[in-house]
Structure 1
């Protein structure tokens, strides 16, 4: 079922989006050559405990295991849903960090600082029943100086996201978003992942409608004021096809070993156009 969000719900998601954006901004100083990738997970956990925010990815249902971390950390050829881990970041790496967080909560209702984030079953009792404001955003980070290939991929992927958001207007259709992203990426020789897509947000992190990064203009669901969506193009240097780590059921990699990049913003469709709720303050906000 697709729901149109109330002003109260949008305000709560905006608060969550502001906090999540501050996390991404803070990670700019964390992600550097020589740093253990696990520092990304530690930074997010620390900020969540300090500011009483639930990391909502912990405990998400999986085919093999529930997701155990606050972040997804995709390195180089990893497309999405890869685990944060102990790996020393190297000059030229491409790291994508994705997360879903609540808005800052009232400590009298729940004291996040007292939760054990490593106890996935316990965390799931809080995260799966959460129905407040939440935000979902992925950002790509260049580790030190990167190659022209990596920089071009990052630039094209980020532009794909904004091109898709530009199409999210009242009266347009879902297919207009995907067609614009696909046309831009493929015209530059890149592959557009089909298996993973954007989506509606609220009251849970994955709601209808699904928002593919490919499609046919003029087709699909008509967009309406009050929809809150994510657009999250996953763009590959080679084939669009991906493979999944069957041991965990989570991490996806490019099938041919090529690089993959992802950017994601969450936004609300208003009568005046899309308004980004996870803006970091420096990019286009419409």
Structure 2
């Protein structure tokens, strides 16, 4: 697609193309001609969109801060859902999971051997020693944000604590691997190496994703793989990095009754941390965490 250099740029900045994305597009075209996978224009965010996504992320972060303050042994995962739902609504925002493809709640709560997509319930009580992932996603003025944190309740075993800590390290290794004009595969390679060096496995059935204007956009972010492979990362891309790391094998199964919750096949523990990041001219900005 070719644009007139004196027309307004395709990105919606209202700046002339030659002063906005013209050089950027030339670089993309050059890389494409060399056989690299490059992002399409529709997943590159402009400044206005980025600012709106930042506002959504502020609410998302505040929700997770509130959960961190309130979460305790003896509460149910439904109590967590109520905290998330009520606060999100109070900010004029919408919990993105609620009703998404039929998901019945406002947040995902995944405990111990649950990998992801745990459905809150008044029957599930948090116990001493549990490790819990709370995954919050927010829509504010039509813009999406997404992040999750692990919480360790009471007397958590050393094995569980180590898994939670190494998983967070994996997330940050992944973030450190993000470089403008680098490769998407660098993220997965960094995460996989750190997980496997610590004797863990990386879940392969789920990954991170582009986000901002929709809940799930391109690209799909693998948490395993090879360096210098995959889509070229460019400034203006926003996506989640959310490694799910298992104590045992990465094999999993999904609850047949609810169709959502995924569990480790071997019953061993799983942990996950998720941040939403923006690729910038010189690195990354963490928007939601």
- TM-score computed with the length of structure 1 as normaliser: 0.84
The residue aligned with 1:122 is none
The residue aligned with 2:45 is 5
Return the offset for 1:29: 2.2
1:265 corresponds to which of 275, 282, 285? 275
User: Is residue 59 from structure 1 mapped to residue 69 from structure 2 by the alignment?
Assistant: no
User: Is residue 27 from structure 1 mapped to residue 67 from structure 2 by the alignment?
Assistant: yes
Q: Return the index of the structure with the highest Cα Rg.
A: 2
Q: Which runs of 4+ in 1 moved over 3 A?
A: none
* Inter-partner Cα distance in structure 2 for 1:216 and 1:26: 37
Q: Tell me the alpha carbon deviations over residues 238-265 of structure 1, each in whole angstroms, 9 at most, x when there is no partner.
A: 0011101122221100000010000000
Secondary structure (helix, strand or coil) at the match of 1:40 reads helix
The CA RMSD measured in Å over matched residues stands at 1.1
Task: State the aligned residue count.
Answer: 248
Return the offset for 1:172: 1.1
Q: Tell me the alpha carbon deviations over residues 79-113 of structure 1, each in whole angstroms, 9 at most, x when there is no partner.
A: 0111011222111101101121012x5xxxxxxxx
Task: Identify which range, 75-84 or 2-11, moves more after superposition.
Answer: 2-11
Return the offset for 1:12: 0.9
The residue aligned with 2:234 is 224
The residue aligned with 2:222 is 212
Checking the alignment, whether the CA contact within 8 Å between 2:208 and 2:241 is kept in structure 1 is yes
Checking the alignment, whether the CA contact within 8 Å between 2:137 and 2:145 is kept in structure 1 is yes
The residue aligned with 1:182 is 192
Unaligned runs of 5+ in 2: 1-39
The residue aligned with 1:124 is none
* Inter-partner Cα distance in structure 2 for 1:197 and 1:36: 27
Q: Tell me the alpha carbon deviations over residues 117-156 of structure 1, each in whole angstroms, 9 at most, x when there is no partner.
A: xxxxxxxxxxxxxxx2210111110112311111100110
The residue aligned with 2:130 is 93
Checking the alignment, whether the CA contact within 8 Å between 1:76 and 1:93 is kept in structure 2 is yes
The residue aligned with 1:113 is none
Unaligned runs of 5+ in 1: 106-131, 280-286
1:140 corresponds to which of 146, 150, 154? 150
* Inter-partner Cα distance in structure 1 for 2:116 and 2:90: 27
- TM-score computed with the length of structure 2 as normaliser: 0.84
Task: Identify which range, 47-56 or 71-80, moves more after superposition.
Answer: 47-56
Return the offset for 1:167: 1.1
The residue aligned with 1:115 is none
